Chain A
Amino acid sequence: MPFPVFLLLIIVLLLSGIKQNNLLAKQGWGLLSAEIMVAGLAFLYWGFEQGKTSSREIAFIAVLGALAAVGRIPFAMLPNVQPATFIIIVSGFVFGPRAGFMVGSTAALVSNFFLGQGPWTPWQMFAWGIAGASAGVLKIIFPNIGTAGMSVFHFIWGYLFGWIMNIWFWTAFIYPLNWQSFLATYAASFWFDTFHAVGNVAFYLIFGAGFVKILKRFRKKLEISILD
């Protein structure tokens, strides 16, 4: 039931931006894009709240989220090379889309409690959340995807993450919003995104097999139910 409501809200927000500076108290795209993002996040969290979640799932999600968050720290010296994206994608791949989203968005929010919250927080929550969720969907569509397929997926997400983050920067601080300024913004982030993508693949190739094996073992433990 609330899905159409959220969809409608997002569409209304999108349409209100077409007629520039006129509808909805003359807000610009910077504010509108943030509102759309928050509405999307609220909907995804609402989905998690409604679903049945056992205490084990909650504890696993929290641990994996914290692990991904910690992963952002020791590599902070190299621009954008960090294992967080890799941990989130692998968690989503093994535990499913909903858990993947929660691990990703929790990692972004929690790491920022320590690295500093900023206007980037909801966008990171969204980008990483979708990275985890999409990995869960990937598993459903291609259950037997091999190392090569997963590497490509990790590589793509290096760029997608940066591209989602760029939307925020572009809509809030650049005017006019046209192809030229869009391309210039995206060109400015090209090397950062490339580092991210290559880092993701490297982490997957080095740690991937071991991580997936361990996570699968624990997914089996999830299926054990406690008798009251």
Chain B
Amino acid sequence: MAVKLFYEEKGLFLQNLHPLAAMVFLGTLLVLALAFTNPLYLAGILFVIVLTVWGADGLAVWENYLKIGLAMMLLVMMINPLVVHAGKTIIWHGPDIPFLGRPTISLEAIYYGIAMSVRLLDIISVFCLYNLIIHPDKALNLLSRLAQKSALVISLATRLFPAMARNIEHIKDVQRMRGVDFNRGTLKTKLRKYSSLFNILLLSSLEDALGIAESMQARAFGSGPRSCYSQNFWRPRDALCLAGSALALLAGVWGLTHGHGGYTFYPQLGYLIDGPGTVAVLLTVLLSLSIPVALNWGWRHCLFLKSKI
């Protein structure tokens, strides 16, 4: 599972976006998914995200995220109707329970639970998209301008992570060569064996850390300006995606302050579509958020567009 969820370089259009443009796009999706409550808006955003995931060849990865999200979605759908008594349309009266009274389940609460699980799916899918299109190094590169030391710690730890997972196996092998059988013995002896395994891992990792620190020092860490090896190019496609995100965000904020994008769940369900303004805002938001996936399609199928962006 760990491998499936991790970023893979496939040379896709969406992976070639400037990290700033890609981050702003994902951030916009996230903020809008958390800001809107209208189920139609939440479902629309989900549609755009899934379309983009498909554009990034990530439907198989997305399935894994779906599995993680499913348990949480069920919880959302269960807790809401069980504890919320604000709905007016009661569809089930429970038996009388001492101290708690009669539990009631209302249509509104079920509806709210479903809408919120769509929101949960929105958010989880945004992160799936993040894993699909942004290389961790690029994100860290962006961060390193703001916070050098923190970015250094994170990128060092990211590098060390797979190395350390391998190290555990190596130490196990060495111990096995010396006659330590990890599968034999009582729980107490097994624990002692594992305890020494982890102590060796900690000791050798910290010893390695000293080596890393010395080589950082030798490479003049912290003295003089930072050097930078890789450069990200800002291309027309990035400007287009950024403009799309900005437009979607503006339309969303304008809509929310003018009564579109919100929704009344309690005490009785409101109208999904509250006049033409609701549709106009929804379409503006969805179309401007679709710019990356539209460009992705153009990049694959339209040579003229490919040469221009």
Contacts and interface: CB of A to CB of B under 8 A. Distances in A.
Given A73-B2, A174-B79, A206-B191, A55 B216 contact: yes
Contacts of B162: 114
Interface string B71-82: 010011001101
Given A66-B164, A211-B202, A58 B153 contact: yes
Interface residues of B, number: 75
A4 interface: no
A48 B153 CA distance: 11
A99 B213 CA distance: 16
B153 A111 contact: no
B283 interface: no
A61 B112 CA distance: 44
Contact of B210 (A26, A117, A221): A221
Nearest to A107: B157
B149 A174 contact: no
Nearest to B147: A49
Interface stretch (B14-22, B91-99, B124-132, B296-304): B124-132
B148 interface: yes
Contact of B2 (A66, A115, A207, A226): A115
Contacts of B202: 67, 211, 214-215
Nearest to A68: B157
A25 to B, nearest CB: 5
A102 interface: yes
Contacts of B131: 116-117
A21 interface: yes
Interface string A39-75: 0000001101100011110111111011101100110
Contact of B37 (A28, A174, A181): A28
A41 to B, nearest CB: 10
A84 to B, nearest CB: 12
B34 A30 contact: yes
A226 B222 CA distance: 14
B206 A218 contact: yes
A176 interface: yes
A31 interface: yes
Interface stretch (B115-123, B237-245, B271-279): B115-123
B213 A45 contact: no
A56 B149 CA distance: 12
A109 interface: yes
Contacts of B83: 174, 180-181, 184
A172 interface: yes
B189 interface: no
Interface in B99-141: 112, 116-117, 119-120, 123-124, 127-128, 130-131, 136
B305 interface: no
B49 to A, nearest CB: 13
B149 A53 contact: yes
B206 A175 contact: no
A62 B209 contact: yes
Nearest to B64: A116
Interface string A194-228: 00000000000011001100110010010000100
A146 interface: no
B199 A210 contact: yes
Given A117-B127, A118-B124, A26 B256 contact: yes
B5 interface: yes
Most buried by A among B35, B124, B206: B206
B213 A59 contact: yes
A27 interface: yes
Interface in A16-30: 21, 25-28, 30
A57 to B, nearest CB: 8
A34 interface: yes
Nearest to B136: A113
Contacts of B161: 66, 69-70, 110-111, 113-114
A118 B209 CA distance: 29
B156 A115 contact: no
A27 B205 CA distance: 45
A184 B82 contact: yes
Closest 7 CB pairs of A and B: A62-B156, A66-B160, A116-B5, A59-B209, A59-B213, A31-B34, A56-B213
25 contacts: A25-B256, A28-B34, A31-B35, A48-B149, A48-B150, A62-B156, A62-B212, A63-B209, A66-B158, A73-B2, A102-B153, A106-B157, A110-B154, A113-B7, A113-B158, A115-B1, A117-B130, A119-B123, A169-B75, A172-B34, A172-B119, A174-B79, A176-B86, A207-B199, A215-B202
Given A59-B209, A74-B168, A114-B162, 17 more contacts: A27-B34, A28-B34, A31-B31, A54-B213, A62-B153, A62-B154, A62-B157, A65-B157, A73-B2, A114-B6, A114-B161, A117-B130, A118-B127, A172-B116, A175-B112, A176-B84, A188-B79
